[in-house]
Amino acid sequence: MINHESCRRANGGEEGTPMLRVVADEAGREDARMFLDEIVAEGARRMLAAALEAEVDGYIKGLADVVDEHGHRLVVRNGHAEPRPIATGAGPIVVGAPRVNDRRVDDVTGERCRFTSTILTPWCRKSPKVCDVLPLMYLHGMSSGDFGPALSEFFGSGAGLSASVVTRLTAQWQDERKRFAERSLADVDYVYCWADGVHFNVRLEEERLCCLVIVGVRADGRKELVAIADGLRESAGSWADVLRDCKRRGMRAPVVMVGDGALGMWAALRDVFPETREQRCWVHVTANVLNALPKSAQPGARKALAEIRDAEDRAHAEAAIKAFADEYKTKWPKAVAKISDKPDALLCFFDFPAEHWLHLKTTNPIESTFATVRLRTRVTKGPGSKAAGLAMAFKLIESAQDRWRCVNGTHLVALVRAGAGFRNGVLVERQQPATDDVDVGQAEVAA
C-alpha cells in the first residue's frame, strides 16, 4: 500500500516548503521484487523463443531450393515440441522449441538428416552457466545432498549433482591432473618457488593424503601451480621424485625455494637443484620457536622474532638474532637453536629486491589456497580415495590460480633470473674494472 506523508525541508532559517514523499510498505516492496523477477523471466523467455525461431528460419531458408521430384520442399517446419522448463541464471524458463521436418537422406550413412539446435540442444534442462556452477559449488564445500534446497530457490528446480555425476566429475578431474603432470616445463621459467606439504584425511582409507605442492613465480611476475603430487609424509624420497620429474620435463633450477622446516624437502632440493637458494618460511619458524617456549615467554619471544624478520637490513637482523640468543639460550636452548643454527636460510631474502621480501618470507600462496581444500574435505569427511582427493585439490588450486595477484615489483623478477646483485633489497650496479694495471702498463711503455 502506498502512503503519502508531508515533510518540510529546512532552508537557511526560512520555513521549508512542504513536499510529498512516497513510502512503500513491506508488502509493496515484496510485490515489486516479484514483479521484477517476472519481467526478467518473461524477457528471457521471449528472447530465447525469438532466437530459436530465427535459427529455424535460417536453416529452412538455406535449404529452400532442395525439393523432391514433385517440386515439394524437403525441409519444412513441423510445429513446436512439448514445452519444457530450462534452468537458467534468470530462473526457470518454459519454452517450446520449434521443430523441423527434414526429409533429406544422407548419401553416406543412408539415414535421414536431422536438425539439431545449437542454442537449445536435445534433452537440455540446464543452461551451460548453471552446469558450470554445479561442480564449482561442490568443489567449494557444498555437499551433493544440499543441492536440492539451495538450487530450488534460484533455478526453480532441486536437480543438482547425483552420485553418478560426482563420480564422473572426479574421474574427469583425475584425467585433467594427469595431463597437467605430464606437460612440458621447458618453455616456462620459474624464478621463485614455494613448496609445502598439506595433509588431509581420506574417508575410505586409513592413511592420510600428503599432498606435495609447488607454486612458482614466472619471469613476468605471475604465480602459477608447478606441480602437485602424492607423497609419503614429506619424505626426502617423495620430494626428490617430484623435483626430478619437474627437471625431467624441462624445469630450470629456481633461484630461491621457500618452504617450512621439513628436512626431506631441503635434502631433495640440494640433490636435484643444488644451486637453488633456501629460504625458510617465517610463519612456520615462528610457530616452531614458540612451541619450544613456555606460554609466559611467548609474547616477548614473538616480538623478538618480529624484529629479526622485519629488520631493515641484514646487519640489524643478525644483531637481533644475537640479542634473541643472549636472552633465551640459557633457559631454552632448543628454541634458540631453531634460529641460530641456520641464519642464512632465514635471512636469504635480504639478497633479493625489497619489493619481493613480503612474498619470500612465507609460503602463504599455498597455505591460503589450501584453506578451501580443508573446507571441502571437512564437509565430506575427506575424499573417498587419494586419487580423488588429489584431483579435487588440483581443481581447487586451478580455480584459485585465476585470482592470484602478481608479485610486487614484477619488472625485477627478470633481473633476479639474469643474475643481478641485490644488497639489503637494493640493486647493486656493476662496478667498473680497476684501472691500476692499465696505468702501470702505460708507464712502462712511456719509459
Comparison of pLDDT for 161 and 270, the residue scoring more:
270
Domain co-membership, 253 together with 391: yes
- Choose between 395 and 188: higher pLDDT: 188
With bands split at pLDDT 50, 70 and 90, how would you rate the model's confidence at 36? Answer: confident
Can you tell me the mean pLDDT for 145-167?
Answer: 62
- Please state, rounded to an integer, the average pLDDT across all residues of the chain: 82
- Asked which of 30-34, 78-82, 163-167, 407-411 is least confident by mean pLDDT, the reply is 30-34
Residues 374 and 260 in one domain: yes
pLDDT confidence of 392, banded at 50, 70, 90? confident
Q: Is residue 4 part of a domain?
A: no
For residues 378 and 284, membership in a common domain is answered with: yes
Give the 3-state DSSP-derived string for 160-200, with helices as H, strands as E and coil as C: CCCHHHHHHHHHHHHHHHHHHHCCCCCCCCEEEEEEEEEEE
Tell me the C-alpha distance between 325 and 63, whole Å. 88
How many angstroms separate the Cα of 47 from the Cα of each of 94, 119, 181, 356?
A: 12, 12, 44, 51
Mind listing the pLDDT tens digit for each residue in 431-442? 555 454 445 444
Residue 76: predicted pLDDT: 94
Residues 92 and 214 occupy one common structural domain: no
Residue 112 shares a structural domain with residue 246 = no
CA pair distance 120, 142, nearest whole angstrom: 28
- Do the domain assignments include residue 143? no
339 shares a domain with 194: yes
Look at residues 95, 117, 139 and tell me which one is the last residue of a structural domain: 117
Residue finishing a domain among 117, 140, 161 = 117
Question: 210 in a domain, yes or no?
Answer: yes
**Residues 96, 226 share a domain:** no
Residue 429 inside a domain? The answer is no
36 in a domain, yes or no?
Answer: no
Query: Using alpha carbons only, what angle is made at residue 93 by residues 89 and 99, rounded to the nearest 5 degrees?
Result: 125
pLDDT tens profile 303-334: 999 999 999 999 999 999 999 999 999 999 99
Question: What are the pLDDT digits (tens) for 176-221?
Answer: 999 999 999 999 999 999 999 888 776 656 577 788 999 999 999 9
In the structure grid, which three cell numbers stand for residue 101, read together? 521436418
In this predicted model, what pLDDT tens digit does every residue of 337-366 receive, in sequence order? 999 988 999 999 999 999 999 999 998 888
Tell me what pLDDT residue 119 has: 87
Q: Which stretch of 95-99, 244-248, 267-271, 390-394 has the lowest confidence by average pLDDT?
A: 390-394
35 assigned to some structural domain = no
Q: Based on the domain organization, do 72 and 199 belong to the same domain?
A: no
Q: Is 338 left (phi over 0), alpha (psi -120 to 50) or beta?
A: alpha
Q: What is the DSSP string of 199-247?
A: EE--TTSSSPEEEEEEEEEETTS-EEEEEEEEESTT-HHHHHHHHHHHH
Q: In the chain, what percentage of residues exceed pLDDT 70?
A: 76
Per the model's pLDDT, the better-predicted residue between 305 and 372 turns out to be 305
- Total number of domains constituting the chain: 2
- Which residue type is seen at 304? A
Last residue of a domain, one of 94, 117, 140: 117
- Is 236 a member of any domain? yes
Question: Is 65 part of any domain?
Answer: yes
Judgement on whether residues 73 and 196 belong to the same structural domain of the protein: no
Claim to verify: residue 95 and residue 199 sit in the same structural domain: no
Please check whether residues 360 and 231 belong to one and the same domain.
Answer: yes
pTM tops 0.85, yes or no: no
pLDDT > 50? residue 5: no
Tens digit of pLDDT for each residue in 229-285? 988 878 899 999 999 999 999 999 999 999 987 778 999 999 999 999 999 999 999
251 and 330 in a single domain? The answer is yes
**Is residue 367 very low, low, confident or very high in pLDDT (cuts 50, 70, 90)?**
confident
Lowest mean pLDDT among 11-20, 85-94, 370-379, 393-402: 11-20
User: Does position 7 have pLDDT exceeding 50, yes or no?
Assistant: no
Task: Check if the beta carbon of residue 199 is closer than 8 Å to that of residue 211.
Answer: yes
Q: 75 lies in which domain range?
A: 42-117
